[in-house]
Structure 1
Amino acid sequence: MRTRQLRSQHQAVPVSALCLGVMALGVHQGEDSSYAVLDRYFEAGGRFLDTANNYGAWTEESLGTQAGDSERLLGRWIASRGVAEEVVVATKCGAGKADPRRPLSGQAPTNYEGLAPEVVRRELTASLERLGLPRVGVYYGHVDDRTRQAAEIADTFADLVEEGLVQVPGLSNTTTWRLAEARAHSRSASRPAFGAWQQEHSLYWPAPGGAEDTLVTREGLDYAAEHPDLTILSYSPLQKGQLARPWLPLPDRYAHPGSGRRLLTAHQIAHAHGSTVNQVVLAWHLAGPASSVRYAAGSATLTTDALPLRRAAMIPVIGARTVEQLDEALGALDVQLDAEDLAALDGC
């Protein structure tokens, strides 16, 4: 397994190039099948695991689960395998229940707990207990809290890094400008800045006019390409199997003609390499999608082709529920996309 570096101020944390998201493990998947996936990932050299404090809350009525079940499962596996010192665990807060008597919702009022300093600290303490760890590698604000200033959120997470409870602070489902504002505040105060940014990204770009706060946009990609100390963690990179089933409708957030063209291009590249379209998309993420914003300062006398190509650091978060799904994703590490392939995926 190749490794990457997550960075924040003077901290550099080596992590696996493919991150295993364990949202379904311990929630949709039982212990035996969950352990089989975790064991296979570890056997393949994987050491970077992603969870959240609210995984299990969405399925309380349908599956009889509860918030934190994914963390509990992961904590039991870590303890049973004795690998606490070998793995890097990322978890999240902010999208747990504010009122335990009400359900969570993706639409307002969401009932999200938010990112008040006391909430962030309380939830980290609970997550560490469920995971059985003294600290986590990455701690995300799971959703933005627009009732609070970006500077306050930045300071809240910087405190936890400086106390040794978190290695790299992160944000998720947050607009580019809010992330940039928070990072600028931390840098101006010489404090640990957000070094991980988890957003939904696959092959497609958002449809015009839709909400973009949870997605990787071209502007966000350009920001990350300009700041090599920031890594994008792309979730839902395989769009729940839609990439491999092109007859399925596109999600509304990506429903426009350009998405179909991009999917066709990815399938053509996969055919040429003898790989799957899922592996091609993951390999593109691993290569780092290139920014298409090419007008750099002082470039008025240069042609576009003369400007340097800038790529954003990206780690896909794969959500395999079976060993077979995991093995397909791991195969992306062996796919070597050439310059022509990357240019087609970057530009189409």
Structure 2
Amino acid sequence: MMFSVDETLRPGSQSPAQMPDELVPSRYALRVGEIDVLVISDGVFPLPATTLATNADPADLAAWLDDRRQPSDVYKWPLNVVVVRSGGRTVLIDSGMGEEYPDFPRAGGLLAHRLEHAGIDPASVTDVVLTHVHVDHVGGLLADGLKGRLRPDVPIHVAAAEVEFWESPDFSRNTFGGMPDVLRSAAKRFLDEYRSQLRPFDAEYEVAPGVVVCRTGGHTPGHSVVRLASGGDRLTFLGDAVFPDHFDRPDWHNAFDHDPEEAVRVRVRLLRELAQTREPLVATHLSFPSFGRVAVAGDVFRWVPVDWDY
């Protein structure tokens, strides 16, 4: 069944007419064969623009930002989460930021509110998949909006290498070194809260029919992507394998890459593969709804957003 507000409202929930309107769209539905996909915006997260590229020449980064008419000091990272329905299972892929930054304006951490607006009851989620255990991907599971409303035994699928890393995290390869306390704290609380529900996998795992989570490494040791395939259609959720600047400069190191050089290798491999197959992708930090394709442009790449279907 295709996602829609009317069809996904749970019994006893508010009707769309009773819900306060949002000023901008926050969810985008599409179909991959028989698999229903809903991209949901968790909001945006303003960070220093230098977090986009720690190894960039400051003038080159300033030029990239100016070319996109972005301010030179702050970049608002989009935060996208995906809900997938396949074979009677409802899979939540990542959980957004939650309430991990109470001193920040509430520009992110909106997932629980927007799930409600989409008529999706957290208790209907049969599986959770985490691309990795960074705070903006697990924070929603620590917040009241989802915590306690998910099934108490809902399985959480995450790469075994990711769990092992966060048991004793090593930031020595990270070139930025920023926010380690926040990253460690959120990861520790997540592991303490959900350890009994973790379902670690080594290389890949089919969570639902045609929904396969695959470890890539790079951004974090257990970073994973999610491959969807049904009826000849394909879609890949790239998580944090690619950021907006990486089409033009795939060699730039994101501030939160735990192994920057490996992250570059993973990124280039995935982008070349997707350019060759022309299959669409979605990613956490591309502008909502982050649904598009990638093309090769000489030695770099070109982002090709898919036109919205109204």
The verdict on a shared fold, with TM-score over 0.5 as the criterion, is no
TM-score, normalised via structure 1 length: 0.32
**Going by fraction, where is strand more abundant, 1 or 2?**
2
Normalised by the length of structure 2, the TM-score is 0.35
